Copies of this chain bind each other. A is one copy, B any other.
Amino acid sequence: MNDAGPFRLEGEGLFTTDTYVVDPPFFPGGDIGRLAIFGTCNDLAVCGGTPVALSLGLVLEEGFPLEDLRRVLASVRAAADEAGVRVITGDTKVVPAGKGGGIYINTAGVGRATPGLRLSPARMQPGDRVLVSAPVGAHGLAVLAARESLSVGAGSASDCANLHPLCAGLADLGPALRCMRDATRGGVAAILNELAAAGRRGMALVEQHIPVDGTVAAAAGLLGLNPLEIANEGVLVAVVEDGSAERALEILRARPLGARACEVGAVTAANPGRVLLETSIGGRRYLDMPRGLLLPRIC
């Protein structure tokens, strides 16, 4: 009945927000409710945070089926339970037909920072290793296939997942863990370019080390999409000190979500702000920041 919900937090807090406008709201491997919970928990987790409380703001378009709303809310609850976090405050607005997209969800999240853990791309050093926790491109392709009723890519399911267990595992590395990101909009290409730019370091990647599922690779090829630029919702990118890379991979691979984790490249002093890709045919090219919004309403 109150306008605000109470929570307790010791030490430094973290705060994040994300609005989810994915179209369609239900897709293989997930739905907008699951996405909204895990996506915001992941934003906290990659900053070294443990989710403490979430908010849920719904914008419903008149005519959005109540049955679908119930499904979304059940999914919100299940995902929050899975992530061990509670939704303690909420709001619902209804907008006229033609003024919305069925359902939009904003989730903001409060988290507890891990004491002493300093994560920043500015801490990256030449020689550091770049790790990717799972095959890339599945989420974006699954949503696109569902939206456009494509048979191509129809076999793939979103990777939508709670990354906190992986992030918390890597936090045990202490200062050897430089920074983490979940590779959402713009895929690993965007996230690696952001890290390189923010840390003023270069990155050298080996294309064939970046895990891509066969279904995703084939469908992306047919559609003219680069899997490295497709959004993920359960793929972690982590940069760790050279000497801790093996330990980091063990930590990731010990969990089902990170079973296929790979080292994909290294941080370089050369080419600050750029990501250099050694292609599978032995060439070299820059992996640029994806231009424009490749796929709208993907998350």
Using a CB–CB cutoff of 8 Å, the interface residues on chain A facing chain B are 1-9, 12-21, 42-44, 46-47, 49, 53, 55-59, 88-91, 93-96, 98-101, 104, 106, 108-111, 113, 119-121, 181-182, 194, 198, 293, 296-297
Contacts and interface: CB of A to CB of B under 8 A. Distances in A.
A18 B100 contact: no
B4 A111 contact: yes
A163 to B, nearest CB: 11
Q: Is the interface of A mostly helix, strand, loop or mixed?
A: strand
Contacts of A14: 4-7
A194 B1 CA distance: 8
A91 B2 contact: no
A167 to B, nearest CB: 11
Contacts of A296: 94-96
A297 B109 CA distance: 25
B49 A108 contact: no
Contact of A17 (B7, B57, B94): B57
Contact of A104 (B59, B89, B96): B59
17 contacts: A1-B198, A2-B120, A4-B49, A4-B111, A7-B12, A15-B110, A16-B55, A16-B89, A17-B57, A17-B106, A18-B91, A19-B58, A19-B91, A55-B108, A99-B297, A104-B104, A110-B110
Contacts of A119: 2
Contact of A6 (B13, B58, B93): B13
A89 B90 CA distance: 18
Contacts of A93: 19-21, 104, 297
Contacts of A12: 6-8
Contacts of A94: 293, 296
A85 to B, nearest CB: 12
B59 A59 contact: yes
B21 A4 contact: no
Contacts of A13: 6-9, 13, 110
A12 B93 CA distance: 28
Contacts of A9: 9, 13
B55 A17 contact: yes
Contacts of A19: 57-59, 91, 93, 106
A5 B18 CA distance: 13
A101 B106 contact: no
